Structure 1
């Protein structure tokens, strides 16, 4: 038998023991911190902030934060842990909260505020977590985050316009198709590297710290702040690469459905309507994204929030009055770069399905789309 180095053997055991002790000690330390937070609250009232998501192993989990005022009158927000749950139904989340409260000598009766995202399992009027808590405690008022409400309102109102709704449907579809495999993601990454290197070589792109970072298509989500804005930005930056991947899927897709899907997206992407709507929503979401960032500040008050909303509304009014020539110039430059046909504004508008109308292109893009969408947002 091979002789074992006794000293090394015991050192390994000690190292394992140290790691176990360290993990146990961290757990005990965390429990002490949570206990001190709950002891500080005592029998006073507090608000609860909850969000659910999955971890890297795809296990559902719920994060819980308590917001309260201490004995010195200072408002505090304290994270008290992440709880793994079997699913994210409102009943499961409520049971998990009851367990956390019970373990820390807290009760539902002490809750005076609730804060969640806009998902139905959280904020639903009948069966959401909000309603389950309100059934036990009518004083647990639910307050929706200003910035989150802004995101939901802007996108929901924009989708009331049929053309904008189609744009967002196509954006979701293209992310699914293009990011549907590791090979397609790799293709986009490599093509982007080559394009940026070429642009730097001819002086079209600046270099410097933080510039020319690798980017990918972002999937939009109604409950994620600014995600629609980031989706549009990423698509505009990767438009050439996305078109190339769609052409690849159109020719080499594994199924007829995938090939037809890519063909339909490509056809839509080559229309001037899509390019115009993409740039218009970029401008609108850019203005509202600027507003949503300060609304997420912890120390924001209602007067400041109202002032910021008024400022954004004023910016939208100015954009509606003077912005069309500016955005049309950007649309034409983008279309020329990507070989998309630019129309004569004095000619009659022809729909993407090749139907001629009795309205000019100028009237279609400026009145039917630009003015109408902005009026909806301003209202």
Structure 2
């Protein structure tokens, strides 16, 4: 366990001191508390001096009953527990995003495809080789620029709820690696060792090549691109609460501008993407058919209304 102490010195300056790494055999909240008490005692300090405490989101740390923060709070009422600015942002984004079914479906699909592609070194090598082949083809056709630092090999980022920035990178790389992902899934459909693997690859391949997925990938990439910039800024060492609030306000304005003025650019970008990758673009004037609902439930709105109002605006 790494312990960092933040205090105000005699001159009134805030100082951060890395106390060091402490080996803990038992990671229960009670054991962690005893370790911290012992470390503080070595520096002639006690819990009564503690004015704040900050940990990650693990239950043994943040539990409201027997978590480490509560055990310390019982001994020192002034030891208020806070998350870092970036972690608070991540928790908020996770909570809000889970209320949107389309986002949940996209995250689940991306996660499942990652599990399939990362299940063996052979598939990873196939993805890497396909990426090289597609890159060479694009270079031969002068579709991309060549410059130092450009066209680096990309990997598939495994996303995690407590690392929300990882979702941004995962969606971004899925957009860039779409052809390579399709190539590997195609090969798996033909050469899978079991019927179960073949069925999964076929299902993911069919789901992945839809306008709905293309739309959600680009929409979430744009939204999370803004929050990712905010996330990086909030993690800077010199950040304070006043500046953090300014950064949040700037991010909110950028999101509002995206909502007000970003529809046409987004649709144009997705259309070009779908044409490039042979993905069928629906007629926006047609009645919307939700494949996830019973066909007996009559839908009285168009495809345009669904994507623009129900997904993009709401």
Same fold (TM over 0.5): yes
Where does residue 76 of structure 2 map in the other structure? 137
Which residue number corresponds to residue 13 of structure 2?
74
Residues 345, 64 of structure 1: alpha-carbon distance in 2 compared, 3 angstrom cutoff: same
Unaligned runs of 5+ residues in structure 1 are 1-61, 373-379
Larger radius of gyration: 1
Distance 1:236 1:87, change over 3 A: farther
Q: CA deviation at 1:147?
A: 1.6
Distance 1:76 1:254, change over 3 A: farther
Say if 2:277 is the partner of 1:338: yes
Determine the C-alpha separation between the residues in 2 that align with 1:92 and 1:203: 61
When residues 229 and 263 of structure 1 are mapped into structure 2, their CA distance, relative to the original with a 3 A threshold, is same
Distance 1:247 1:206 in 2: 28
- In the TM superposition, residue 102 of structure 1 has moved relative to its aligned partner by 4.2
Specify the alignment match of 2:309 in structure 1.
367
Matches within 5 A, 1:80-119: 80-86=19-25, 88-119=27-58
When residues 323 and 252 of structure 1 are mapped into structure 2, their CA distance, relative to the original with a 3 A threshold, is same
Using the alignment, how far apart are the partners of 1:102 and 1:262 within structure 2?
57
Give the match's secondary structure for 1:347. Answer: coil
Given the alignment, which residue of 113, 117, 123 partners 1:184?
A: 123
Q: Does the 8 Å CA contact 2:94/2:164 hold for their aligned counterparts?
A: no
Measure how far apart 1:255 and its partner are. Answer: 4.0
Deviation readout 1:197-254 (Å, 9 max, x if unpaired)? 2222222222222212122111111222511111111111111112222233334334
Q: Counterpart in 2 of 1:41?
A: none
Equivalent residue number for residue 23 of structure 1: none
Matched with 1:169 is 108
Cα drift, residue 71 of structure 1: 2.3
Which structure features the higher share of strand residues?
A: 1
Q: Quick one: distance in 2 between partners of 1:66 and 1:331?
A: 48
When residues 202 and 155 of structure 1 are mapped into structure 2, their CA distance, relative to the original with a 3 A threshold, is same
- Secondary structure of 2:300 counterpart: strand
Q: Which residue of 2 aligns with 1:36?
A: none
Relative to structure 1, is the Cα distance of residues 257 and 318 closer, same or farther in structure 2, using a 3 angstrom cutoff? same
Change (3 A) 1:337 1:83: farther
Contact conserved, 2:127 with 2:180, CA < 8 A, in 1?
yes
Please say if residues 291 and 309 of structure 1, whose CA atoms lie closer than 8 Å, have aligned partners that are also in contact: yes
CA contact (8 A) 2:214 2:274 kept: yes
Partner in structure 1 of residue 133 of structure 2: 194
In 2 relative to 1, CA 268–94 (structure 1 residues): closer, same or farther, beyond 3 Å?
farther
Mapped partners of 1:266, 1:163: distance in 2: 18
2:178 matched residue in structure 1: 239
- Residues in 1 aligned to 2:146 and 2:270: alpha-carbon distance in whole angstroms: 25
2:256 counterpart residue number: 317
Q: Does 1:262 align with 2:204?
A: no
Match of 1:283 in 2: 222
Q: Which runs of 4+ in 1 moved over 6 A?
A: none
Contact 1:172–1:219 (Cα < 8 Å) also in 2: yes
Distance in 1 of aligned mates of 2:74 and 2:89: 28
Task: Say if 1:316 and 1:96 are closer, same or farther in 2 by CA, change over 3 A.
Answer: same
Where structure 2 has 5 or more consecutive residues not aligned to the other structure, the ranges are: none
> CA 1:99/1:253 → structure 2, altered by over 3 Å: closer, same or farther?
farther
Q: Is the 8 A contact 2:93 2:164 kept in 1?
A: no
* Most deviating of 247-256 and 217-226: 247-256
Alignment of 1:35-74 (within 5 A): 62-74=1-13
Change (3 A) 1:94 1:248: farther
